[in-house]
């Protein structure tokens, strides 16, 4: 089963259409790996950059291209 953004729930369970990686055991997008900082959750957009986002624990949320740039900056590792 491939994962599309419209299938989002409380975690990702399918393979990302963009990177073909399965989610981490925590339900995070496999291609994002570990993001440093105060990140509550994030989505790569699965090939649709406009649907990418980062939500922080303080409630702040960024989306789209801004989120893609920030994900790259915050990425610690691709390892799961």
Domain boundaries, the chain: 2-77
**What pLDDT score was predicted for residue 27?**
63
Query: In angstroms, rounded to a whole number, what is the distance separating the alpha carbons of residues 46 and 52?
Result: 8
DSSP for residue 17 = T
Reported as a single tens digit per residue, the pLDDT across 26-76 is 667 888 887 888 888 888 998 899 999 999 989 999 999 999 999 999 987
pLDDT at 14 over 90: no
Statement: the pTM of the whole predicted model exceeds 0.85: no
């Amino acid at each position: 089963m491939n994962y599309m953004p419209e299938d989002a729930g409380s975690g990702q369970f399918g393979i990302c259409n963009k990177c073909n990686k399965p989610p981490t055991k925590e339900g995070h997008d496999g291609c994002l790996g570990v993001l440093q900082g105060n990140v509550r959750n994030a989505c790569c957009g699965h090939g649709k950059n406009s649907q990418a986002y980062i939500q922080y624990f303080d409630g702040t949320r960024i989306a789209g291209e801004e989120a893609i740039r920030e994900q790259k900056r915050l990425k610690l590792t691709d390892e799961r």
